Amino acid sequence: MPHAPDPAYPDPAPNPDRCLVLGALAGLAILKLAMLAGQFTQTPPHPPLAFAPLFAASLALCALCAALLIARSHWFALPAALVTLESLLSFGPHKLYPGPAPYFAQTSAVYPVILVGSALIALLVAGSWKLVRSGGLRMPS
């Protein structure tokens, strides 16, 4: 006779949506770390140094979001939304258009980062939406 699952011990099988969101968060964090390293080493093309605090805050939010996601907390949605918004500023598709402001790509050398970042943002949004809608997370008690 099969037994009912104990709510104190969640199913150890990985949830594909959680894995997708964790992967997107990790990818965005790696892109931000690479851009931050480019800033500090002045390796062209690098973003302006004034963006370093923004990248640092976003990395902290990525870590918080990943921890909340691993804990299966419904609260992960708020930091995920903030990471998404900041990532859109850094790697959004608007960067594919040339322009004089630092919010646009100054050179086509950053296009691979923008394309990969835009795809990771889309995966983060889609996976997060699916997780929240499917009830794959716990509401705080």
Q: Where are the domains of the chain?
A: 51-141
Contact indicator for 73, 138 with CB cutoff of 8 Å: yes
Average pLDDT over residues 123-140: 84
Prediction pTM value:
0.82
Q: Please give the Cα distance from 46 to 113 (Å, whole number).
A: 12
> Apex CA 40: angle with CA 37 and CA 45, to 5°?
70
**Res 74: pLDDT:** 85
Strand (E) positions, 82-141?
A: none
Nearest to 45 by CA among 108, 115, 98, 116: 108
Over 70: is that where the pLDDT of 82 sits? yes
Average pLDDT over residues 22-30: 96
Over 60: is that where the pLDDT of 2 sits? no
Task: With cut-offs at 50, 70 and 90, classify the pLDDT of residue 95.
Answer: confident
